[in-house]
């Protein structure tokens, strides 16, 4: 008995179908992988930007905090200084300062005629510009202290007054 051969029906092979499916899936997975990597890079960039912004905010906040502390310290120093100066202003001046003030004004009053005379002489007589005239005047103030004052003037210049602040107690 002979069998009649069955007609050949062309069927795609199962192997070819599976390879095609796997290839398509692999291509799909590769595209998905690239999308995931792109999203990851984007998220990393966003997170870096966010972290930088947070750091900038914190540094601004810490800078503001440091500046506020510094300003409060300055304000406290000003208030303390103002209080100290007010207390010192309320206290009477020391006797030494009072004596010094009295002696200074007494010396100014006694020297004013000499200064006026020097100024008048300077305008009346013209001396060469580089020649200076000088003289020494001893002043005795009411309390017995002595001031030695040397005054100089140069023609066509302002009157220069030099005070030797040597104070000797004359007995």
Nearest to 60 by CA among 48, 68, 70: 68
Burial class (CB in 10 A: 0-12, 13-18, 19+), 146: middle
Q: State the DSSP string of 140-164.
A: E-TTSEEEEEEEEEETTSPPEEEEE
And the tokens for 171? Answer: 């007995």
pLDDT at 106 over 70: yes
Cα dist from 82 to 75, 85, 91, whole Å? 10, 5, 14
And the tokens for 30? Answer: 């590769």
Max avg pLDDT among 12-26, 63-77, 126-140: 63-77
pLDDT at 165 over 80: no
pLDDT per residue as tens digits for the range 13-52: 888 889 999 999 999 999 999 999 999 999 999 999 999 9
Banded pLDDT at 85 (limits 50, 70, 90): very high
Cα dist from 126 to 15, 131, 162, whole Å? 129, 10, 22
And the tokens for 56? Answer: 């900038």
The arithmetic mean of pLDDT across residues 130-156, rounded, is 46
Name the strand (E) or helix (H) holding 16: helix 14-90
And the tokens for 66? Answer: 């440091």
pLDDT at 72 over 50: yes
């Amino acid at each position: 008995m002979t069998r009649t051969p069955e007609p050949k029906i062309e069927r795609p092979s199962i192997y070819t179908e599976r390879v095609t499916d796997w290839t398509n899936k692999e291509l799909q997975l590769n595209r998905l992988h690239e999308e995931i990597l792109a999203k990851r890079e984007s998220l990393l960039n966003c997170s870096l930007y966010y972290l930088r912004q947070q750091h900038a905010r914190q540094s601004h906040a810490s800078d503001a905090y440091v500046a506020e502390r510094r300003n409060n310290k300055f304000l406290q120093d000003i208030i303390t200084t103002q209080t100290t100066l007010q207390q010192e202003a309320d206290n009477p001046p020391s006797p030494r300062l009072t004596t010094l003030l009295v002696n200074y004004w007494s010396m100014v009053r006694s020297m004013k005629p000499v200064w006026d005379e020097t100024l008048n002489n300077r305008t009346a007589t013209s001396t060469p510009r580089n020649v200076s005239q000088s003289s020494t005047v001893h002043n005795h103030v009411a309390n017995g202290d002595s001031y030695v004052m040397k005054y100089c003037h140069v023609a066509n210049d302002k009157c220069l007054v030099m005070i030797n602040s040597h104070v000797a107690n004359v007995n």
